[in-house]
């Protein structure tokens, strides 16, 4: 069987359609929302909306595609064989990291050097000088550190991910590997995967969510926040991998992917949904319990108090229903994890749920009660989804869909859960 | 009550021989009591035609029992029976109860599933189980075929012979459990058939 995939016309139509919708939304925002208006807190709500939506979408989708490379690296380090049958799919998704990385970097820099104090309050030098707490965080929350750290982070994700992908593509040219060559190749993979994982842990699982998202609420902090963000994007990343695997399988590709592989992907989606809830709850309960005003502020902005409901109450609990109750109750059964339609439905639901999760991370601190969920928000999401489809499709057609010389291929073919 | 039943026991040295043998024995219409293996053999349950276990459904039921127990008990205690002001929190302090609810859910499902598993496998303290072949825990795959009144023992034995079994014998064993098992002494390996 030929493992070269041709993109069908419908795929291209959807890709360019989504990108076109996104571009229209962006132009609409550009014209209507006056993005370069003065950033004074709460003065130009539309202008704030423009940047907040871009920030939410770019960071969310960048972290989601980056999770695909993290998945490859941890499975490489764990010597997992079962992923080999669809390994190229996660590689293809991770190949979007440089594209979204550049876009995200441009957006972040425009916010920081455009002096958007409505997004990041700590950009306001005067306010920082008169603020004991912000003054104490000055070493971390300042434009120079932000720019350099963001740049290095995105560069390292791109560079190490690129290395992992080129190692994989190199195996196509190498032909069948004997025991010694295979061992050496696996070792090289393990070394680079470990490096990537270390960088990933020091960025996605700790500093980057603090810097990019948590610093919107600059006074507030939570030690669970980065793990919570990581869980959110990782479970979405697994759902995205599952979606592409199912799509390709429907197109008659990926001959070695069976229900067994789908079952394990479903387990990842189930397990990390529960893991996300664990972190979500740990963050919520500790703050609820200790009841410190500077900490509870974060949740009061969202759900409000017993007397007065907050503007995000519905979204806040919808988030919990979509991302916890639905995966828990629906994906618990073995039958639904092995059902292609059910996993597709759940993957879409989970990605949407965590997009909403990011929405309620970014909006309350920037737009307060003036948020909206309209054409601009969904249009921007469409732009990023279109870009992911474009980049992934490009990689899938350029390279063989099967890492046919991978030493663990046999293990993946006979995989049995 | 205890009841004596006879079984035809055949042992295999190789998985590759065992799988087709299981298939042929089932095709010939004999009833496989069980196959004892030294390690879990992938796909053997499928080959033997054993239905999917319901243990996980039982586990789910135990789990929601645990959830309900924890939530109803705590809400009764803290809102009706003995309301206390703890740090100014509401009496119905749901977030504080979630960890305990979670723990009881896990506890109920874990303990319940272990006990159910023991019951299904006829395992209990002091119950001495009959070993059809002592090497089933070491290096032999032991197939046990149940004899009914219609079964011709000699026929089954020769059938197993052609299927590739190494040692074949007939054993009369008590079935059922709890009763009449406690006083049975386990024989040493060298006294068991096969040594």
Contacts of B88 in chain A (CB under 8 A): 291
Number of H helices, E strands in chain A: 18, 0
Residue of A nearest to B42 (CA): A416
Across the interface, do A332 and B60 touch by the CB < 8 Å criterion?
A: yes
> What residue numbers bound the domain in which B74 lies?
55-120
Say if residue B6's pLDDT is above 90.
no
The answer to whether residues B59 and B38 belong to one domain is: no
**A290 touches B: beta carbon within 8 Å:** no
Question: Angle at Cα B118 formed by Cα B58 and Cα A336, nearest 5°?
Answer: 30
Query: Which residue in B46, B61, B95 has the most chain A C-beta atoms within 10 A of its own C-beta, making it the best mutation to test that interface?
Result: B95
Q: What is the mean pLDDT of residues B34-44?
A: 89
The answer to whether residues B48 and B128 belong to one domain is: yes
Q: Closest by alpha carbon to B173, among B126, B129, B118?
A: B129
Across the interface, do B60 and A416 touch by the CB < 8 Å criterion?
A: no
Q: What is the mean pLDDT of residues A15-39?
A: 92
Contacts of A275 in chain B (CB under 8 A): none
CB atoms within 10 A of CB B114: 11
Residue of A nearest to B86 (CA): A289
Among chain B, residues having any CB pair with chain A shorter than 8 Å are 42-43, 56, 60, 87-89, 95-96, 98-99
Distance from CA of B40 to the nearest CA of A (A): 13
Of the listed ranges A152-161, A365-374, A380-389, B47-56, the least confidently predicted one is: B47-56
Across the interface, do A285 and B88 touch by the CB < 8 Å criterion?
A: no
**A293 touches B: beta carbon within 8 Å:** no
Contact of A337 with A343, CB cutoff 8 Å: yes
Contacts of B43 in chain A (CB under 8 A): 416
Query: Which residue in A281, A290, A306 has the most chain B C-beta atoms within 10 A of its own C-beta, making it the best mutation to test that interface?
Result: A281
Of B67, B87, B120, the last residue of a domain is B120
- pLDDT, one tens digit per residue, over A158-206 is 999 999 999 999 999 888 899 999 999 999 999 999 999 999 999 999 9
For residue B175, the model assigns a pLDDT of 66
Contact of A263 with A307, CB cutoff 8 Å: no
> What residue numbers bound the domain in which A277 lies?
9-413
Q: In this structure, what token pair is assigned to residue B14? A: 């190789």
pTM (2 decimals)?
0.89
Q: Which residues pair with B8 in a beta bridge?
A: B145, B170
- How far lies A241's CA from each of A59, A87, A88, A268, in Å? 18, 10, 10, 11
- pLDDT, one tens digit per residue, over A95-130 is 999 999 999 999 999 999 999 999 999 999 998 999
Residue of B nearest to A290 (CA): B87
* C-alpha–C-alpha distance, residues A178 and A185, integer Å: 10
Say if residue A378's pLDDT is above 90.
yes
* C-alpha–C-alpha distance, residues A193 and A273, integer Å: 24
Across the interface, do B43 and A416 touch by the CB < 8 Å criterion?
A: yes
Q: What is the mean pLDDT of residues A278-306?
A: 92
Across the interface, do B98 and A334 touch by the CB < 8 Å criterion?
A: no
Residues 6+ apart with CB under 8 A from B119: none
Q: In this structure, what token pair is assigned to residue B16? A: 């590759």
pLDDT-based confidence at A149, cuts 50/70/90?
A: very high
Contact of B166 with B11, CB cutoff 8 Å: yes
Percent above pLDDT 90 for chain A = 86
Distance from CA of A186 to the nearest CA of B (A): 27
Say if residue B132's pLDDT is above 90.
no
**A291 touches B: beta carbon within 8 Å:** yes
pLDDT-based confidence at B33, cuts 50/70/90?
A: confident
* C-alpha–C-alpha distance, residues A220 and A260, integer Å: 44
The size of the A-B interface in CB pairs under 8 A is 20
| Higher pLDDT among residues B51 and A68, named by residue | A68
Across the interface, do A284 and B96 touch by the CB < 8 Å criterion?
A: no
Contacts of B89 in chain A (CB under 8 A): 289, 291
Say if residue B59's pLDDT is above 80.
yes
Across the interface, do A281 and B98 touch by the CB < 8 Å criterion?
A: yes
Report CA A240 to chain centroid distance, whole Å.
Answer: 10
Assigned domain for A2 exists: no
pLDDT-based confidence at A247, cuts 50/70/90?
A: very high
Percent above pLDDT 70 for chain A = 99
* C-alpha–C-alpha distance, residues A350 and A343, integer Å: 10
Q: In this structure, what token pair is assigned to residue A119? A: 């997004």
Say if residue A318's pLDDT is above 90.
yes
Distance from CA of B46 to the nearest CA of A (A): 12
**What's chain B's average pLDDT?**
84
Assigned domain for A4 exists: no
Across the interface, do A334 and B87 touch by the CB < 8 Å criterion?
A: no
Contacts of B51 in chain A (CB under 8 A): none
Nearest Cβ partner for B95 among A284, A332, A416 = A284
Across the interface, do B95 and A289 touch by the CB < 8 Å criterion?
A: yes
Contact of A93 with A240, CB cutoff 8 Å: yes
Domain count, chain A: 1
pLDDT-based confidence at B125, cuts 50/70/90?
A: confident
Across the interface, do A285 and B98 touch by the CB < 8 Å criterion?
A: yes
* C-alpha–C-alpha distance, residues A250 and B63, integer Å: 37
Q: What is the mean pLDDT of residues B158-177?
A: 82
For residue B29, the model assigns a pLDDT of 81
* C-alpha–C-alpha distance, residues B100 and B106, integer Å: 10
Of the listed ranges A140-144, B28-32, B121-125, the least confidently predicted one is: B121-125
Which residue reads 């100014």 in tokens? B88
The answer to whether residues B180 and B134 belong to one domain is: yes
Q: Closest by alpha carbon to A146, among A246, A215, A58?
A: A215
Across the interface, do A416 and B42 touch by the CB < 8 Å criterion?
A: yes
**A332 touches B: beta carbon within 8 Å:** yes
Say if residue B178's pLDDT is above 70.
no
Assigned domain for A229 exists: yes
For residue A36, the model assigns a pLDDT of 84
Distance from CA of B191 to the nearest CA of A (A): 40
* C-alpha–C-alpha distance, residues B170 and B18, integer Å: 19
**A289 touches B: beta carbon within 8 Å:** yes
Residues 6+ apart with CB under 8 A from A79: A186, A408
Q: At B29, which CATH number?
A: 3.30.70
- pLDDT, one tens digit per residue, over A218-243 is 999 998 999 999 999 999 999 999 99
The answer to whether residues B115 and B136 belong to one domain is: no
Residue count of chain B, please give it: 195
Across the interface, do B56 and A334 touch by the CB < 8 Å criterion?
A: yes
Say if residue B2's pLDDT is above 80.
no
Burial class (CB in 10 A: 0-12, 13-18, 19+), A179: exposed
Residue of A nearest to B52 (CA): A334
Contact of A304 with A297, CB cutoff 8 Å: no
Assigned domain for A356 exists: yes
Residue of B nearest to A335 (CA): B52
For residue B127, the model assigns a pLDDT of 74
Contacts of A416 in chain B (CB under 8 A): 42-43
Across the interface, do B99 and A289 touch by the CB < 8 Å criterion?
A: no
With the C-alpha atoms ordered A342, A348, A351, A355, is the resulting torsion angle positive or negative? negative
Q: In this structure, what token pair is assigned to residue A297? A: 């502020």
* C-alpha–C-alpha distance, residues B95 and B73, integer Å: 15
Domain count, chain B: 2
Q: In this structure, what token pair is assigned to residue A117? A: 């104090």
Across the interface, do A289 and B96 touch by the CB < 8 Å criterion?
A: yes
Assigned domain for A3 exists: no
| Higher pLDDT among residues B148 and A245, named by residue | A245
Across the interface, do B87 and A291 touch by the CB < 8 Å criterion?
A: yes
Number of H helices, E strands in chain B: 5, 4
**A284 touches B: beta carbon within 8 Å:** yes
The answer to whether ipTM exceeds 0.85 is: no
Q: What is the mean pLDDT of residues A311-337?
A: 94
Burial class (CB in 10 A: 0-12, 13-18, 19+), A162: middle
**A395 touches B: beta carbon within 8 Å:** no
């Amino acid at each position: 069987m030929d493992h070269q995939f041709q993109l069908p016309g419908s795929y291209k139509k959807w890709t360019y359609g989504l990108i076109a919708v996104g571009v229209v939304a962006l132009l609409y925002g550009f014209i209507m929302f006056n993005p370069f208006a003065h950033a004074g807190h709460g003065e130009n709500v539309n202008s704030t909306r423009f940047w907040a939506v871009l920030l939410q979408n770019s960071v969310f989708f960048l972290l989601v595609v980056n999770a695909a490379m993290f998945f490859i690296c941890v499975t490489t380090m764990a010597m997992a064989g079962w992923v080999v049958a669809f390994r190229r799919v996660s590689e293809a998704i991770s190949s979007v990291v440089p594209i979204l990385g550049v876009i995200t970097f441009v957006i972040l820099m425009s916010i920081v050097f455009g002096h958007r104090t409505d997004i990041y309050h700590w950009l306001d030098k005067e306010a920082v000088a008169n603020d004991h707490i912000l003054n104490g965080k000055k070493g971390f929350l300042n434009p120079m550190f932000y720019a350099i750290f963001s740049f290095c982070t995105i560069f390292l994700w791109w560079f190490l991910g690129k290395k992992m992908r080129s190692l994989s593509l190199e195996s196509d040219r190498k032909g069948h590997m004997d025991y010694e060559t295979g061992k050496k190749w696996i070792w090289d993979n393990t070394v680079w995967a470990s490096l990537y994982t270390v960088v990933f842990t020091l960025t996605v699982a700790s500093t980057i969510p603090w810097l990019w998202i948590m610093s919107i609420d600059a006074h507030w902090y939570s030690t669970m926040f980065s793990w919570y963000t990581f869980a959110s994007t990782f479970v979405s990343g697994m759902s995205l991998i599952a979606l592409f695997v199912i799509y390709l399988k429907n197109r008659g590709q990926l001959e070695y992917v069976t229900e067994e592989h789908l079952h394990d992907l479903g387990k990842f989606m189930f397990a990390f949904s529960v893991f996300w809830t664990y972190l979500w709850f740990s963050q919520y309960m500790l703050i609820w319990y200790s009841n410190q005003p500077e900490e509870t502020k974060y949740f009061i902005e969202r759900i409000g108090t017993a007397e007065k409901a907050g503007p995000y109450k519905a979204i806040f609990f919808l988030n919990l229903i979509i991302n916890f109750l639905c995966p828990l109750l629906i994906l618990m059964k073995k039958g639904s994890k092995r059902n292609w339609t059910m996993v597709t439905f759940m993957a879409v639901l989970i990605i949407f749920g965590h997009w909403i999760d990011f929405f309620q991370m970014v909006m309350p601190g920037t737009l307060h009660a003036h948020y909206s969920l309209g054409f601009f928000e969904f249009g921007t999401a469409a732009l990023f989804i279109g870009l992911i489809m474009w980049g992934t499709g490009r990689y899938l057609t350029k390279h063989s869909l099967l890492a046919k010389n991978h030493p663990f291929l046999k293990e993946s073919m006979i995989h049995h859960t | 009550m205890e009841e004596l039943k006879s079984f035809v026991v055949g042992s295999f040295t190789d998985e590759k021989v065992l799988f087709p043998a299981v298939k042929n024995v089932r095709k010939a219409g004999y009833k496989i009591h069980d196959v004892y293996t030294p390690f879990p053999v992938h796909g053997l349950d499928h080959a033997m035609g054993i239905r999917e276990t319901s243990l996980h459904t039982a586990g789910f039921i135990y789990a929601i029992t645990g959830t309900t127990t924890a939530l109803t008990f705590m809400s009764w205690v803290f809102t009706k029976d003995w309301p206390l002001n703890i740090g100014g929190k509401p009496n119905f302090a749901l977030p504080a109860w979630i960890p305990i609810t979670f723990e009881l859910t896990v506890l109920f499902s874990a303990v319940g599933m272990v006990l159910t598993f023991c019951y299904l496998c006829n395992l209990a303290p002091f119950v001495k189980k009959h070993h059809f072949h002592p090497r089933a825990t070491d290096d032999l795959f032991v197939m046990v075929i149940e004899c009914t009144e219609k079964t011709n023992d000699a026929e089954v034995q020769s059938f197993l012979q052609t299927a590739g079994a190494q040692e074949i014998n007939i054993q009369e064993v008590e079935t059922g459990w709890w009763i009449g098992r406690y006083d049975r002494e386990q024989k040493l390996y060298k006294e068991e058939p096969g040594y």
